[in-house]
Amino acid sequence: MAVVKTTPTMVSIPNHFCPGCGHGILNRLIAEVIQEKGYEKKTILTLGVGCSCNMNGSWNGDKIQTAHGRAASTATGVKVARPDLLSIAYQGDGDAYVIGLAETLNAAYRSEPITVFVINNNNFAMTGGQMSWTTMPGQVTTTSAHGRDTSLTGMPIRVPEIAATFPDVAYVARGSVHSAKEINRLKGYVRNAIEAQLNGEGYALVEVLCQCPTNWGMSVEKSIQWMEKEVVPYYELGELKGRRK
Ligand SMILES: Cc1ncc(C[n+]2csc(CCOP(=O)(O)OP(=O)(O)O)c2C)c(N)n1
Ligand code: SF4
């Protein structure tokens, strides 16, 4: 019998992201896992400021638009007020790792029982493609016109590697949406991060490498090739901290 795969009820088609953007893939994976768990009516998403704001128009579930960088703190508050709900923060790298770095690390350090997804597209996308702490060495952005000079700015930050060192953190992984194989693997990371919260294991973080063809100034095909060649070798994929079985 043919298997018919339907779109999860929590995502709308079309979405509000640019053509070829990877955000929509992560949206769908999260929605699929929430639906598998039967949590469509028992989930609150706290959205960071950035292209994640587009989900205000395409995520068919309860959500809170937070101030820039504060999604993890808001998700913590949601969980304190309603421990019965699934509390998920959805942020960009600029939101979670630059303006909201303190909030991200404090939530992780305390092992707040929330699930955090961070789209790492190596730039501040929504505001027109400025350099972020995740921008690759030599990468041209609107604020690094000659390419990121790491002798001035330091090397790109790897927050999951930091969070994974905190003893109480339950789960940390880095996935990517650049190939079918990695999307399949990412689904497992998304499931683990959500199950960690549902089982009361503590804080979970999944970073997702994501193409941004619009601000990278590349075709989708070229973006995927650039990710494979430049981004993935620096931002290694896999589980950085597995769940305690
Ligand atoms: C306090 C504050 N500072 C700056 C901004 C401007 N701002 C809006 S979105 C954004 C960048 C978001 O980048 P990121 O979190 O990486 O998400 P992306 O758009 O790349 O998905 C910035 C700097 C703001 N809205 N509020
Ligand atoms: S600007 Fe980049 S990250 Fe934002 S929706 Fe467009 S492609 Fe996606």
24-37 residue pLDDT tens = 999 999 999 999 99
pLDDT band at residue 22 using 50, 70 and 90 as cut-offs: very high
Pick from 115, 103, 121: which is nearest to 198 by CA? 115
With cut-offs at 50, 70 and 90, classify the pLDDT of residue 6. confident
Ligand 2 mutation pick, 49, 95, 120, 121, max ligand atoms within 8 A of CB? 121
For residue 212, the CA-to-ligand 2 centroid distance in Å is 5
CA 75 to CA 84: how far, in whole Å?
13
Over residues 181-200, the mean pLDDT reads 98
Q: What is the mean pLDDT of residues 44-52?
A: 98
Residue 1 pLDDT level (bands cut at 50, 70, 90): low
pLDDT computed for residue 5 by the predictor: 78
In 121-200 the beta strands, taken as DSSP E runs, fall at 171-176
Secondary-structure breakdown of the chain: helix, strand, coil percentages, each rounded to the nearest 5: 40, 20, 45
Q: What is the pLDDT of residue 48?
A: 98
Asked if residue 51 has its Cβ within 6 Å of ligand 1, the reply is yes
In ligand 2, the atom with minimum distance to the C-alpha of 210 is 3
Ligand 1 contact, 50 CB (< 6 A): yes
Are the beta carbons of 113 and 101 closer than 8 angstroms?
no
As a whole number, mean pLDDT of residues 184-202 equals 98
In angstroms, rounded to a whole number, what is the distance separating the alpha carbons of residues 181 and 204?
Answer: 22
- State the pLDDT confidence band at 190, using cuts at 50, 70 and 90: very high
- 127, 130, 134, 223, best to mutate for ligand 1 pocket (most atoms within 8 Å of CB): 127
Q: Write out the two tokens for 157.
A: 């930050």
Q: Give the up-direction half-sphere exposure of residue 74: CA atoms within 13 A in the CB hemisphere.
A: 21
pLDDT over threshold 90, residue 220: yes
Query: Cβ(95) to ligand 1 under 6 A?
Result: yes
- Determine the pLDDT at residue 245: 66
Q: Whose CA is nearest to atom 26 of ligand 1?
A: 68
Phi, psi (deg, nearest 5) at residue 137: -55, 130
- The average confidence (pLDDT) of the chain is 97
Q: How many helices (H) and strands (E) does the chain have?
A: 10, 7
Going from the N-terminus, what domains does the chain have, and what CATH number goes with each?
23-123+158-212 (3.40.50.970)
Binding site membership of 21 for ligand 2 (Cβ less than 6 Å): yes
User: Is the pLDDT score of 184 beyond 90?
Assistant: yes
| pLDDT per residue as tens digits for the range 62-113 | 999 999 999 999 999 999 999 999 999 999 999 999 999 999 999 999 999 9
